[in-house]
Structure 1
Amino acid sequence: MRYPEFLKEKGTVGFVAPSFGCAGEPYRTAFENALKKWKEMGYSVDLGPNCFEASGTGISNTPEKCAQELTGYYLSHKNDVLISCGGGELMCEILEHVDFDAIKQGAPKWFMGYSDNTNMTFLLTTICDTASIYGPCGCVFGMEPWHISVRDAVGLITGEKRMMGSYEKWEKEKLKDEEHPLLPYNCTEDFALKVYIPHKEIHGAGGIGSEDNFLTDATGRGESWGGDISMCKSSSAVMEGRLIGGCVDCLVNLTGTKFDKVKEFIDRYKEDGFIWFLEACDLNVFGIRRAMWQMEQAGWFRYVKGFLFGRPLCHGQEMMGLDQYEAVLSVARKYHVPVMMDIDLGHLPPMMPLVTGSMAKVTAKEGKLEIRMEYR
């Protein structure tokens, strides 16, 4: 795994728009304030030509121009790290024009973004063996004042921080809009971690589980696989492995395409095992379950050591007896590994920035979550 150099004092932060640009409000004002804040911290900025563009469909510009900007600025020596301006809808369409061979042969560089930017963070790691950061996009740095998660992202990209912890509250209803572009997160809901571990594991550790905690399928029968192992709710769990993942909407879209090199990737690092971190945007609970099934059938979950699932945008939804938890557990329980859900990740902020490709030890204890990352 290749780990890029961290952003140094007085370094240059590059910005590109392989997905949406910051053309309209509240994104333009937020991004302009973000640039101001980076400069106030002593950094220079290097803006790609698409940062304020909105001439594309679902992305800032044509797929060719977006790919040209992304490849060029990633390989450029004029910036030290690269941050995507924002998420979007059709970043997948630029991939056939991105020069992954040149990126793989060039010096590694930190790329940070989330949501639609999974198309870069995930492929940088699985195709180019290069670590990336699943974290906030450019305009997020414009909020006043910064949420601690934004400071965490800066700490991660500068190398000052390698441990992330859960935050006290999260945002259910955002207040940021065109007239209030710089408002911070409206964190009103208490963090409520859900932890599930194999039943045998609980009883083997001293019997802290109980029959009442068995997870059941829609028929009311406890599910098991390869034996009598079911899943129980727990207050604690630990898992270690290499972090991989992103936005499920994007990941399932890549499954089976020529950009799907996951099986080769997990074979290269199979001795480490994998912790899949996942979050969903537009998918409802059935969409999440279908996506989990598709990734499983593609062989992506071999050597899995655990699952982390962020709060989905459909948080709290139930359809025909299926909720967001069973949508994940329907597949995840088959692997007899810890599953942690409603973590700080994804489209209901705040989110913990994570290094895709890094080795991690994840600890859940007394309702809190801690992720320690190592670069090896």
Structure 2
Amino acid sequence: MLYPEPIKPGNRIAITAFSSGVPKACHTRLDIVLNDLSKRGFHVVEGQCLRDNQLHVSASTELRVAELMAFLLDDSIDVIMAPWGGEVAMELLPHLDWQQLEKAKPKWLMGFSDISTVLSAISSKLGWATCHCTNLMQLALNQTDDLTANVFTHLATSIGSEFKQNAATHYEPQYADYSQEPNAVFHLTEPSCWKVLNTNRFNVSALEFSGRLVGGCLDTHMVLYGTDYFAPYNRLINEFEPAIYYFENGELTATQYFRALQSLKLKGAFKHATGILIGRNIAAEGKRGDGYDDLMALNQALGDLEIPVLYDVDISHQAPNLTIINGAMANVKLIKGMGEITQKLI
């Protein structure tokens, strides 16, 4: 693995919306989180592809590619962040100059949802560790839950060292409207607990497995798997090493959810996996009239696997989110319903 240098005060963080941009109604929130980065001691470099959003994107494909490439090749930049996800980051992938990027200094790329599309491509094509975590627009200093508040602390971990996170006790069912509440924090009101899908095969009171982490938003990863842009055993994981896959569902209905997971299974994605982590499902409310829901879909697709499948994990559009390093060696424990994950940067 090629790990970027640990994050520290004084680092330069470039902000560019290579997927959806920020409309004017949310600029107050954007200014808050950018100012909070400065208060944390970082130097903020604001891109041109950021403060607009037309037809799902911040700017044209050409402009977004050019700006992302410029930041990736600028070795004075230490971190690249987008404000939030979006819809069509996938369109950038074939336009990036991957040969030039092979010569660049590894940088931390951070975020989730459609941002994970680019994270997986960078990890698969370049072998860089990338960070699936809370998006920039949620990283205000007034957000104090442990998982969110410690993102930059975890990314300050030195190469060869490790950090541990415990499962959240509560989650937020619906996210805030930043155009109406620019200073909003998470409302973590619903009890949260990691659950085991295939309980008939494992001791759910004391479950443990290890492997290198890989995954992202299921909506895009289901179609990227098998391409150069999501090829875990290309540059990310040695062919003899185990993997832990993690996925979260952004918009898929129950039947689409089943097809996505079943497709990955049929393609052999889980052949060398020791376990799978499935995030809370924000699309769970979209149930069919016949009663078929996301949990039925999950069980139908993955319930027969001989490896542990944990669901309702803190990886989703329902905050808070774990900080997950693509390529890190992880150890996952579930002890009497309490989840724990330790990641070592090796």
TM-score by length of 1: 0.85
CA RMSD in angstroms comes to: 2.1
Q: Deviations over 1:302-337 (max 9, x none)?
A: 201101000111235543453322322323234301
Offset at residue 81 of structure 1 (A): 1.2
Offset at residue 195 of structure 1 (A): 1.5
Amino acid at match of 2:281: P
Q: Given that residues 198 and 336 in structure 1 are in contact (C-alpha distance below 8 angstroms), is that contact kept between their aligned partners in structure 2?
A: no
Cα distance in 2 for partners of 1:121, 1:50 equals: 18
Offset at residue 265 of structure 1 (A): 5.1
Cα distance in 1 for partners of 2:170, 2:313 equals: 11
Offset at residue 201 of structure 1 (A): 4.7
User: Equivalent of 1:343, from 270, 292, 313?
Assistant: 313
Cα distance in 2 for partners of 1:258, 1:154 equals: 29
Cα distance in 2 for partners of 1:344, 1:260 equals: 22
Aligned to 1:211: none
Structure 1 residues 254, 73: CA separation in 2 closer, same or farther (over 3 Å shift)?
A: same
User: Equivalent of 2:102, from 101, 104, 110?
Assistant: 104
Cα distance in 2 for partners of 1:53, 1:251 equals: 26
Aligned to 1:227: none
Matches within 5 A, 1:57-68: 57-68=55-66
Amino acid at match of 2:7: L
- Determine helix, strand or coil for the equivalent of 2:276: strand
Of 45-54 and 243-252, deviating more is 45-54
Aligned to 1:166: 167
- Determine helix, strand or coil for the equivalent of 2:35: helix
Q: Given that residues 13 and 46 in structure 1 are in contact (C-alpha distance below 8 angstroms), is that contact kept between their aligned partners in structure 2?
A: yes
- Determine helix, strand or coil for the equivalent of 1:315: helix
Q: Deviations over 1:253-311 (max 9, x none)?
A: 32354534345457x52322111111001101111110011112222222011010001
Aligned to 2:208: 238
Amino acid at match of 2:267: A
Offset at residue 238 of structure 1 (A): 0.7
Cα distance in 2 for partners of 1:236, 1:317 equals: 33
Aligned to 1:88: 86
Amino acid at match of 1:346: S
Aligned to 1:51: 50
Of 287-296 and 319-328, deviating more is 319-328
Aligned to 2:280: 311
TM-score by length of 2: 0.92
Verify: 1:18 aligned to 2:18, yes or no. yes
Matches within 5 A, 1:324-343: 324-343=294-313
Aligned to 1:354: 324
- Determine helix, strand or coil for the equivalent of 1:102: helix
Of 336-345 and 68-77, deviating more is 68-77
Please list every run of at least 4 consecutive aligned residues from structure 1 whose deviation after the TM superposition is greater than 4 angstroms: none
Gap runs ≥5 in structure 2:
none
Offset at residue 248 of structure 1 (A): 0.1
Offset at residue 144 of structure 1 (A): 3.1
- Determine helix, strand or coil for the equivalent of 2:284: coil
- Determine helix, strand or coil for the equivalent of 1:305: strand
Q: Given that residues 134 and 320 in structure 2 are in contact (C-alpha distance below 8 angstroms), is that contact kept between their aligned partners in structure 1?
A: no
Q: Deviations over 1:138-181 (max 9, x none)?
A: 21123634433221211122228721211111011334342212
Verify: 1:364 aligned to 2:334, yes or no. yes
**Identity over the aligned pairs, expressed in percent?**
23
Of 157-166 and 16-25, deviating more is 157-166
- Determine helix, strand or coil for the equivalent of 2:67: helix
Verify: 1:124 aligned to 2:122, yes or no. yes
Q: Deviations over 1:109-135 (max 9, x none)?
A: 110011001111111112211110001
Amino acid at match of 1:39: S
Matches within 5 A, 1:68-217: 68-142=66-140, 144-159=142-157, 162-197=163-198, 199-202=200-203
Larger Rg: 1
Cα distance in 1 for partners of 2:78, 2:260 equals: 35
Structure 1 residues 251, 146: CA separation in 2 closer, same or farther (over 3 Å shift)?
A: same
Q: Given that residues 276 and 307 in structure 1 are in contact (C-alpha distance below 8 angstroms), is that contact kept between their aligned partners in structure 2?
A: yes
Cα distance in 2 for partners of 1:243, 1:29 equals: 35
Verify: 1:282 aligned to 2:243, yes or no. no
Q: How many residues align?
A: 342
- Determine helix, strand or coil for the equivalent of 1:115: coil
